[in-house]
Structure 1
Amino acid sequence: MNSHWVPGNRITLLENGEGYFPRVFEAIAAAEREVLLETFILFDDKVGQQLHQALLSAAARGAEVHVLIDGWGSPDLPASFTQPLLDAGVRLRSFEPVQRLFGARINLLRRMHHKLVVVDGQRAFVGGINYSIDHLEEFGPLAKQDYAVEVDGPLVGQIQAFCRANVQAPQPARGQWLKRWRASMERDGVPGVHEDGAVAAFVTRDNHLHRTDIERHYRAAVRSARQRILIANAYFFPGYRLLRDLRRAARRGVQVDLVLQGHPDQPWVKRATELLYRHLIRADVRVFEYNERPLHGKVAVVDDIWATVGSSNLDPTSLSLNLEANVVVRDAAFARHLRERIDHLMAQSCERVQRPATGRLRSAWIAVRSMIVFHALRRFPVWASQGTARTPRVVPMRSDAP
Structure 2
Amino acid sequence: MIINNNSFYVPKNLELVHSGEDYFARLETIIREAQFQIHMQMYLFENDTTGKRIVTALKEAALRKVEIYVLLDGLGSLSFPAEVIKELKYSGVNIRFFAPLFSTYTFYLGRRLHRKVIVADAKVALVGGINIADKYHGSATQKPWLDYAVQLNGEIAKPLQQLCHDIYFKKSHFKNKQIKSAFRIQQDTSVRILQNDWLKGKNEICDGYIKSIRHAKKEIIIVGSYFLPGIRIIRALKKASKNKVIIKLILSGKSDLPLTRRATCFLYGKLLSYNIELYEWNESILHGKVAVVDGNWSTIGSFNLNNLSSYGSLEMNVEVLSSSFSTVFQEHLNEIISQCQRITPESLKTKTSIMTKFINLVSYAVTRIVELVVTYTPYKRFYN
TM-score, scaled relative to structure 1: 0.82
Q: After superposition, where does 1:17-166 map in structure 2 within 5 Å? A: 17-99=20-102, 108-138=109-139, 140-141=141-142, 143-166=144-167
CA contact (8 A) 2:250 2:280 kept: yes
Q: Secondary structure at the match of 1:200?
A: strand
Q: Deviations over 1:147-171 (max 9, x none)?
A: 1110113322221121111122177
Match of 2:262 among 243, 249, 271: 271
Residue in structure 1 matched with residue 229 of structure 2 by the alignment: 238
Counterpart-to-counterpart distance in 2, 1:207 and 1:29: 35
Residue in structure 1 matched with residue 5 of structure 2 by the alignment: none
1:48 deviates by 0.9
CA contact (8 A) 2:50 2:132 kept: yes
CA contact (8 A) 2:188 2:323 kept: no
Residue in structure 1 matched with residue 379 of structure 2 by the alignment: 389
Counterpart-to-counterpart distance in 2, 1:300 and 1:268: 24
Matched, 1:209 2:209: no
TM-score, scaled relative to structure 2: 0.86
CA contact (8 A) 1:320 1:381 kept: no
Q: Secondary structure at the match of 1:44?
A: coil
Q: Secondary structure at the match of 1:304?
A: coil
Decide whether aligned partners of structure 1 residues 115 and 195 sit closer, same or farther in structure 2, where only a CA change above 3 A counts.
same
CA contact (8 A) 2:122 2:155 kept: no
Deviates more, 1:168-177 or 1:115-124: 168-177
Counterpart-to-counterpart distance in 2, 1:171 and 1:236: 32
1:270 deviates by 1.5
Counterpart-to-counterpart distance in 2, 1:156 and 1:271: 39
Decide whether aligned partners of structure 1 residues 74 and 377 sit closer, same or farther in structure 2, where only a CA change above 3 A counts.
closer
Q: Secondary structure at the match of 1:217?
A: helix
Q: What's the RMSD between the two structures over aligned residues?
A: 3.1
Deviates more, 1:73-82 or 1:290-299: 73-82
1:356 deviates by 4.7
CA contact (8 A) 1:198 1:329 kept: yes
Counterpart-to-counterpart distance in 2, 1:336 and 1:209: 34
Q: Secondary structure at the match of 1:74?
A: coil
Deviates more, 1:132-141 or 1:21-30: 132-141
Q: After superposition, where does 1:242-253 map in structure 2 within 5 Å? A: 242-253=233-244
Q: Secondary structure at the match of 2:146?
A: coil
Residue in structure 2 matched with residue 353 of structure 1 by the alignment: 343
Q: Secondary structure at the match of 2:379?
A: coil
Ranges in structure 2 where 5+ consecutive residues have no aligned partner = 1-10
Q: After superposition, where does 1:249-328 map in structure 2 within 5 Å? A: 249-328=240-319
Counterpart-to-counterpart distance in 1, 2:376 and 2:264: 25
CA contact (8 A) 2:39 2:165 kept: yes
Residue in structure 2 matched with residue 185 of structure 1 by the alignment: none
Q: Secondary structure at the match of 1:231?
A: strand
Aligned residues: 365
CA contact (8 A) 2:263 2:360 kept: no
Deviates more, 1:276-285 or 1:298-307: 276-285
User: Aligned partner of 1:313: which letter?
Assistant: N
CA contact (8 A) 1:211 1:319 kept: no
1:233 deviates by 1.4
Counterpart-to-counterpart distance in 1, 2:348 and 2:223: 28
